[in-house]
Structure formats: C-alpha cells, structure tokens
Structure 1
Amino acid sequence: MVPRSAGSLAADRARYDRATAHLDAPLAIVDLEAFDANAADLVRRASGKPIRVASKSVRCRTLLERVLAKDGFQGIMSFTLEESIWLAREGFDDILLAYPSADRARFGELAADPKLAGAISVLVDDPAQLDLIDAAREGGAEEIRVCLELDTALHLLGGRIRVGARRSPLRTPEALRGLADLIGRRPGFRVVGLMAYEGHVAGVGDSIPGRPFRSRAVQLMQRTARQELAVRRDAVVRAVREVADLEFVNGGGTGSVESTVAESCVTEVAAGSGLYVPRLFDNYRAFSGRPAALFAQPVVRRPGVGVVTVLGGGYPASGAAGADRSPVPYLPEGLRYDPQEGAGEVQTPLLGSPADDLRIGDRVWFRHAKAGELCERFATLHLVEGDRVIESVPTYRGEGKTFL
C-alpha cells in the first residue's frame, strides 16, 4: 500500500464521509482516482505486455468496462463458465475461463453458439474434461477453444516439499505437449492458449511488518520459484508450440507482474486485485497501490470508554482461516478489533482512543482482505470522485448474479 500520512488519511475520511452523507451505511465505495492510478501503475509494471483483467477481483461490469477501455488492458480472465457466457452476451469478448468447469448445460450453450464459442476459451488439464464437454454438446458442433494450464508449484527436496497452489496436474513439457497433441487430433477442440498462475509469487507478500525472518524466507522462496519456473515455462511453451498454434501465453498476477512479463515466452499477464488493492496486497516490495475499494459500517453503540460497536462487518475472505482473512478497520486510524469477538456477523466492537470521538451514526471505513469478494456482500458500488458520488453501479450481486 502507498504510505499515507495521518493528514492524508484524515482528509480521505472526511472526503468519503462528505461524498456519502446522503446514503445510509452499510455501503461500499470505489475511489476512482485511486482505481485509475492503480490501473496506470499495473500498465507501467507490465512494460508493454497486455494485462488480462481477472474478473473475480472486480465483479462489477461497469468497472470491467472502465479498465478495459484503458490502453494496456485486453481481455478478461473469468472464474465460471456461467459468468463467461453472461459477459460474452453483454458484449465482452476475449474471455479466458481460468478454472475447469463441469457445467454441462452451459457447455451445451457454448457448443451451439458460434458467437460464444469464438469469444470464450475454456481451461482443460485432463482428457476427462474433454469427455464431459463432448457429452454435453447435445448436437452443438462449434469448435471449443481450449487453454492448457501448467502446474507452477515449486518442488523441493525431490518433490517432498511443495510450495504453491494445487491446480493443474500437468507439470512437464512432455505432459503439456502430450495433451495438446491429443486435443489437436480430437474433433471439436482447438488449443489456443497456455496459462500458468504462480500464486506463491503473485499472491504472497514478501515484506511482512515486524517479521524480518519470515520476509527473508519468502523472498528466498520466491526468487528460487521464479528462476525454476522461468526455465520450465519456456520449455513447456516451446514443446506445446510444436503441436499447437498458441494465440496467448498467460501468466502471473498482481504481485508478480514485473517478473512474469520479463519472461520472453509470456505474451500477457493477468491482474485484478491491484485495481482495488485489498489488505492482502499491502506487503510487497515490488509495488505499492492505493486502497480503492472500501466499505463503511455505522456506529450503533458506545458500550464504554474507548469502545464503539458498528453494525455487522464480519466479512471473512476465502483461503486458510486466519486473522489475515478478516477486513481491517481503516478510517479513522487507530481502531482495532476486540480479540474476544473479532469481526462479527451482526455487530463488531472496535477498541481504541478514536472510538471516543465517534458518535452514533458515524461511519467506520474498512478494507476487505481480498478484492472482488467484497462485492458478494454489497449490491451497489458508489463511485467517488473527489468528495462526491458520481455514479452508483451494480455489482454482480446487484445484477442478481452469484456465480460461486
């Protein structure tokens, strides 16, 4: 996160309070100045390679349209087939479904509609997934665009230690080439892309406040992982290109933009969280962003000196359970959770001297731990410029879409 002085934070709080004074909390905002600055910084970091926007980290059509209108951004990385089809029918194209699907009904739609089939590429890492798609065709004869995924995990001590997400089973050039060759000889499918998400680099902060030894260990792991993956990814791309005409090679994420685009075999990088900059993206040496997406909860109680209670606020993020998955009180500065209660389902006590200056009805502004998951809690995002809301737009939830 870009360091903000106490004066700047106080000014931001006053600005957000003025902008939303006509609205009742709970509510969520996106600061468009911060959003656009974060987008520009992602483009700078990508050094001329296009950025595919991860829709799961945005979950708002208006903001997807806003960022895709900017130079340097191209295409969407979606998270379900239902979402991909909905976006394609709303006018988006060049959509990469980055996770395997078992949605038979929508594979039937995809195979029967030439517009959808031309706009969407689906992820495959197992021949059984092809069998499922073929069984779902129901007469649809459109060619399905396929993207293969490479397992990026770092294996140490002969594979006894694994660092990285458990995603694709495909790890070697031979395995990827073999599946690409099989698909090339199978009617109804065409390999068009390769993706490799190095989440242990892109999604793990390497500068943890107060934990220098942990930070150093993460830095060492990530340097080793980047070096190993660069060699292996290049070999995989060369092997797959022997049997398939790849249109794109996608890699990385917000936290690894610079290192991913430095690999010559990578043609594009994925990013999305870097637009909102949630709390999990504060602790990186390579970049700093500005928090753009916030939510406000109203003060409804004053239980005692140094304590206020806000309505709700218990919005945990996905992933391994831990304190880092909770939202954090952001404005005013200096508030913290009661360790006996944490962020609650219907009420959240907050401790700290700033509590004594808060009145019933005042707002406390929070940052969510992960980016787009905030939008699963709110139907509307209020877009702020300066000290006014210029537009209120629906999230996916506000459009009645709950894909996962």
Structure 2
Amino acid sequence: MTTARSWWRRGDNLRADAQAAKDAAAEAFYELDTAQRDLVISIETITAVDSSPAARRASEDFRALGERIDQVSAAYIAAVDAYDLDRDELEAATAARARTELTKAKDDLVRARKDLDAFARGLGPLLDKAETQLARLAPAVERARQALLAASNALDAVRASGLRADDLAARLAALGPELTKLNQGAGTHGVQETIRRGDEVLRTAEAIRAEAERLPERAREIDKRIVSLRTRTQALATRTEGVDPVLSELRRRFSMACWQDLQHVPERATEAVGRAEQKLQEAAKARDEQRWPDATALLGTVRALLDDADAAVSAAGDRLRRLNEVSKDPQGEIERTRFAVRDAQRLAMQGRTTPEQRHARPLDEAVARLDRAVEGLQGRHPDWWHFLTETAAVRETAARVVTAIREDRATGRP
C-alpha cells in the first residue's frame, strides 16, 4: 500500500504541475492577445493618417510579427487540445509531456509578447504624429461647417438689403459637394485629405462671408465713384474746349518746334472724353445690374481715359506757361541750371585735388550741352521748347552725378 500511495502522489503532483503550466500559458496567451488587439488599433490609426515610407514599413513589420504570434498561439492551442488534464487515468508520462509542451508554449508566448512590446515602443513617434492629426480632424470639419453657415447667413443678410450677390451665391453653392465629402468623413476620404478639405472650405467660406459683408459698402463706393467720375468728365470736357485757344497762341508766338507735338491734343482729348462718357454709362448699367466686378473694371477704364486726356490738356497749358516764362526771362532758367552743375562740381571736388573722371566727364559734357542750348537762343524765333528740354536734361545729369558721389561715399568707395 505504501508503494501505491507513493505512485499516486507522484502522478497527482505531475498533474498539478501540468495544470499550473497550462494556467501560466493561458495567462500569457491572454496578455499577448490583449496587447496585439491594442496594437492593431495603433497601427490602424497610423495607416489611416500617415502614408510615409516609415508608416508603411511599420505596417509590414506588424504583419510579419502577427504571423509569428499566430504560430506561437496555434502551438499553444494545439498543446492545450492535446492533453486532457482532468482525465482520471492520466498517466504520469503524459502529464510530464503536457507540462513540458505547455511550459514551452508559455515561454514562446512570453517572448512574442516582449517582442510586441518592443515594437509598440518603437511606434511612439509615428503614433504621436497620427494622434495629433486625428486631434485636428474634428475641429477642422467643425470650423468648416461653421464658416459655411456664417457665409450663408451673411449672404442672406445682403439679399435682404436688396443686393443679389449672384456671384457669391454661386461660389457658395459650389462648396456643396465639398461639404458632402466632409460629412462622409475620414473613413471614406482619409484623415489628411479630410483635414485639407476642411481647411480649404474654411478659407473659401470665410472669403465669401467677408465679401458679402463688404458688399453694401462696395456698392456705396461704386456709386460715389460714378458720381465723381461723371463730374470730372464734364469738367474735362469744358477744359478740352479751351485747348484750341492755347494752341492758337502757341502757333502765333512761338516756332513750330515748340508746339507741333501738341497739335492733335484737342482731337485726342475729345475722343478720350467721349470714350470715358460711354464707359461711364456702361459702368452705371453694370452697377444697376449688380455686376460688381464689371462695374469696377469699367470705372478703372474711365479713370485711365480721363487721366490721359487730363495730362494732354494740362500739357498744352503748361507748355504755354513755361514758354511764356522762359521767353521773358531765359537768364533765370540758365542760372538755375548752372547752379545745379556747379553744386555737383563742388561735391565732386570735396576733399580731392582732382575729381574722379566718372564724375567729371558727365559734368563737363553737361556744361557744354548747356552752352550749346544757350547759343541756340540766337535768332528771331528761337526754339524755346528745345532750350527747356536741354536745360532739364542738364539738371538731370547733375542730379545723377550727385547721387553717384553720395552712394560711393556711403559705401566707402574712394
């Protein structure tokens, strides 16, 4: 009986060891399975947001690791299924084999879990980046929706005031498909694309809202410009009528060279004023039809036409004034020009015994040019306009030399 009890106790101990090994393996299997499921969520988060090579490599590595986990899990399940530890007739050798195989399965599961944990730690930067992107997703979509609502409300307010704003309404309607895609979500279009779309919708909707809110002011500005340009057009038409007497006096008192470039001013100014009146009518019609971009463009054309005509009409009067002044007192123009040249010469000689040739040469040429212009005043009908253009050119040369000298000295150039 003693021997029988000894064998029974030995068999019972082996069964207990095998059961302990089975329990340990089960715990290892559960922990590995739980860790793997958690990591699946992390990988899905990364791949949903990140399409970089590092993210693709992480997904591939996880797939390979999953295959290994499947192998050790299958080995564990096979070991569990192979042995019925609750059977009364369990032999000692069978219990020993069960313990050995279950212990090995547990060790393999633990090693796989350690590898899985190490892999999870390596995913940290990618996961942080992905979660940051996901954190932007909901706010980006919500901001876009709110911006669309604000744009729609602003448009309704503008229409209530009597302005149609058809172009803004068309632009807002064009955002409808984009809103549909936003509502479909990142699951359909991806996280990054959804965030990009949300940001784009936000910018466009905010621009529409801002333009809608400014539209009443824009309408008032266009109304003011129409009135102002109409007044200017009428005034310029009156001034244009005074060009012919000015040209008549120029022809009577001065040589042809002094006025021949102005003889077509009346026709050109009259034509420009006529075109401005036509474009102004078109602009007023565009404003009445609330074609704001067209009205703005037409008013810009009117202003350019009036500027050209105004410059031409002013040129005739200015020419007569300047010719009158210089013909009465040419010496004043001469002295003013000589002073500019002498001032440049003094600056060129400042701190030197001889001037730099690059400064002295143009000044010498300017002096000679002025002398020739003065000599050209001899005769019964001098070309006063040529004289004025020459003196202006001489003063311009002196000014360029002064600027060059100052720039040289500012940079330390000798």
* Structure of greater Rg: 2
Structure with more relative contact order (C-alpha pairs < 8 Å, separation 6 or more): 1
Q: Same fold (TM over 0.5)?
A: no
Q: Which has the higher helix share?
A: 2
Question: TM (normalized to structure 1)?
Answer: 0.17
Q: Which has the higher strand share?
A: 1
Question: TM (normalized to structure 2)?
Answer: 0.17
